[in-house]
Amino acid sequence: MARIIGGLTTSHVPSIGGAIARGEQQTPYWKPFFDAFIPVHEWLAKEKPDLAIVIYNDHGLNFFFDRMPTFAVGAAARYDNADEGWGIPVLPSFEGDTELSWHMINGLVHDEFDITMCQEFLVDHAFTLPLKLMYPNAGPTWPIKAIPVTINSVQHPLPSAARCWKLGQAIGRAVESFPKDLKVVVLGTGGLSHQLDGARAGFINKPFDLMCMDKIVNDPVALTRFSNREIIEQAGSQGVELMTWIAMRGALSGRVDTVTSMYHAPISNTGGAVMLLSNEPAPARLAAE
């Protein structure tokens, strides 16, 4: 059976791609953020996950304001990156797993999530950079397969935190009922607090971010009680990317341990955070296998 062995959350600012391209990982500005991935690399080398489900928000590369699915799931054999501006290099394509994609899509629709299923899907910095941070030395091919899941966080109305939590739970159920042996890691990319435009451009709320990092581990349901308006007030208009973290955590049903956790602000305009949680699948799920 497929098993979710862990969850990784990270900020995904495009300038990470620029820093990698210029080899700036060890400069004083970037070192705290890039060094946060050292324990992640050690964990990946030990656990060797087969596939990453990447929960993120598209920024206009694959979906634009004319057609904006609330939730979308990739069902492609291959996911290409494309030039989205920002001056960051285009990264090699990612191999998908159509069998698991369709299994997830069936599970999500069964669980009353009317998702958009996409057999073509361009992936942006919020998908590619976290995988590049996980596998900085990957050559033209990646050591892991990947499936994109997007949550609309750019065009209102946005789904609620409670709904994103339930989406994550449904993803968890779907993955852990997949009959093939696969080690899966679930990513939630985005956040934490940031606002890129308007009167509060540059807004970061460190106390709120640290509270979210604590709750993600110890009491994730507490985060589902925030309204979208409250999250935007507390974390800035792009701080709603927190939804991706909440969905990731919903997919972890078992005993969760913190492998590593780092907060450093700002990176670019954002409260930068990285967390890796291991997940010991719940006995009920193991018994069902």
Query: Which region among 10-18, 70-78, 89-97, 256-264 touches ligand DHB (by CB under 6 A)?
Result: 10-18
Residue 52 tokens read as 């990453």
Per-residue contact flags (x/-) with ligand DHB for residues 161 to 180, judged by CB under 6 A: --------------------
Q: Which residues are catalytic?
A: 125, 194
- Residue of the chain from 13, 73, 108, 146 that contacts ligand DHB (CB under 6 A): 13
One-letter amino acid for residue 185 of the chain: V
Question: Interface with ligand DHB includes 268 (CB under 6 A)?
Answer: yes
**Residue 249 lies near ligand DHB (rule: CB under 6 A):** no
Question: How many binding residues for ligand DHB (CB under 6 A)?
Answer: 13
Contact segment (CB under 6 A) with ligand DHB among 26-34, 133-141, 162-170, 262-270 equals 262-270
- Residue 277 · residue 217 · CB < 8 Å: yes
Phi, psi of 270 (to 5 degrees): -125, 145
Q: At 255, is the secondary structure helix, strand, or coil?
A: strand
User: Over the range 94-124, which residues count as b (16 or more CB within 10 Å of their CB) and which as e?
Assistant: bebbeebbebbbebbeeeebebebbeebbbb
Is 187 near ligand DHB (CB under 6 A)? no
Q: With binding defined as CB under 6 A, does residue 16 bind ligand DHB?
A: no
**In DSSP terms, which residues pair with 183 in a beta bridge?**
3
Stretch that binds ligand DHB, among 142-150, 222-230, 245-253, 264-272 (CB under 6 A): 264-272
Contact between 194 and ligand DHB per CB under 6 A:
yes
Return the CA Rg of the chain. Answer: 17
For Cα atoms 271, 48, 142, give the angle at the middle one, nearest 5 degrees: 75
What is the DSSP code (8-state) at residue 64?
B
Q: Which of 270, 271, 274, 281 binds ligand DHB (CB under 6 A)?
A: 270
Told to check if 228 binds ligand DHB by CB under 6 A, we report no
Q: How many CB atoms lie within 10 A of CB 27?
A: 11
- Give the integer Cα–Cα distance in Å for 148 and 71: 11
By CB under 6 A, is residue 88 in contact with ligand DHB? Answer: no
Residue choice 9, 10, 70, 269 for contact with ligand DHB (CB under 6 A): 269
Give the integer Cα–Cα distance in Å for 29 and 132.
19
> Does 70 help bind ligand DHB (rule: CB under 6 A)?
no
> Does residue 132 touch ligand DHB according to CB under 6 A?
no
Judged by the rule CB under 6 A, the positions of this chain that interact with ligand DHB are 12-15, 59, 190, 194, 196, 238, 241, 268-270
